[in-house]
Amino acid sequence: MRCRICRRDAVIKVRSFGIALCEEHLVEFCLRRVSEAIKRYRMFGREDRVLVAVSGGKDSMVLWDILSRLGYRVDALFIDLGIEKNGHMERARAVVEAFAEERGYPLRVVSLRDEYGFSIDDVKERETRTVCAACGIVKRYIMNRVAFEGGYQVLATGHNLNDEVAVLLSNLLGWKEGYLSRQGPVLEARGKLVKKVKPLCELTERETAVYAMVEGIKFHHTACPYSKGATTLTYKRALNLIEYRSPGTKIRFYRGFVDRAKRLFKGDEVELVECPLCGYPTTHPPCAFCRLRERMVEKAH
């Protein structure tokens, strides 16, 4: 198959557009798609300081690279969650630090254990609840806090189109109105909650993977050892099957929801109050992060 633009050998067939692209034009395509998504969904401007959350996985690494190349004011944040099983965190951190050094991109590293006195391994060991839920609380809290205290206007995450439509399908199948009312490429700022954006929301996982390969971006391949059996995979595979038979389904599903259907769902207008322990907004004080932290500290003694 030949590149639609230059007729060289293609490295990817972008089924939803009915085109094939070579290395050079796939990179150009990804940069343009992200740039258009930033403008289409009014994510941020040239003057804004953007904090990119990076995990070492392909999507966040690609996002970091693309935003830097597009000339935005970008710093990256890596949270060391203290997952030692299979050397998971150590390897992810090494990949991120090496990339920052190689490209000269600014990077901030926060260690959960050093800053807050516990790790996700501790949560796994000491809590009966699902570790993924606690990990989500930790990541959202630290990302927001670093962004707010660092004076960033926007927090960007590497969620891609596949992630977004999988969650959308899951929320629709369960008619989770509250989640549906908040789902989308942008979550506006509210008090000490920094604006959150997903600039890769219109790129597929295949596109980000091939971008990483052709741009020589090394990423951490191994999934988190605690995420086995994640139901997201089932939705992703189902949607990919539909996409294969009916190209363009995922982007139509996503845009249709954001542009036309999202407004039909009403979330509860929850009142936010200040957490008495950390001062950050919460619905039920103390906030979920401070409650988790307190339990971890109690159980350690």
Which residues lie near other proteins (CB under 8 A)?
Answer: 1, 10-13, 15, 20, 57-59, 159, 162-163, 166-167, 205-206, 209-210, 213-214, 223-224, 227, 230, 232-233, 236-237, 240-241, 243-244
CB atoms within 10 A of CB 294: 12
Q: Which is nearer to other proteins, 44 or 235 (CB)?
A: 235
Comparing CB distances to other proteins, the nearer of 21 and 275 is 21
234 or 283: CB nearest other proteins: 234
| CB of 195 or CB of 236, closer to other proteins | 236
* DSSP symbols for 78-145: EEE----GGGHHHHHHHHHHHHHHHHT--EEEEEHHHHHS--HHHHHHH-SS-HHHHHHHHHHHHHHH
Tell me the C-alpha distance between 119 and 16, whole Å.
42
Backbone φ/ψ region at 2: left (φ over 0), alpha (ψ -120 to 50), beta: beta
Least Cβ distance, residue 59 to other proteins (angstroms): 7
- Residue 171 CA to residue 253 CA, distance in Å, equals 13
Please state the closest distance from residue 210 (CB atom) to other proteins, in A. 5
Comparison of 130 and 227: residue with beta carbon closer to other proteins: 227
Min dist CB 214 to other proteins, Å, is 7
Question: Smallest gap, in angstroms, from Cβ of residue 57 to other proteins?
Answer: 6
User: Looking at beta carbons only, is 250 or 293 nearer to other proteins?
Assistant: 250
Task: Give the nearest distance from C-beta 119 to other proteins in angstroms.
Answer: 20
- Least distance to other proteins from the beta carbon of 205, Å? 5
Distance in Å, CB of 175 to other proteins, minimum: 20
76 and 64 Cβ atoms separated by less than 8 Å? yes
Q: Which residues of 249-262 are buried (b: 16+ CB within 10 A; e: fewer)?
A: bbbebbeebbeeee
Nearer to other proteins, 9 or 259 (CB): 9
Residues whose CB is less than 8 angstroms from the CB of residue 245 and which lie 6 or more positions away in sequence, other chains included? none
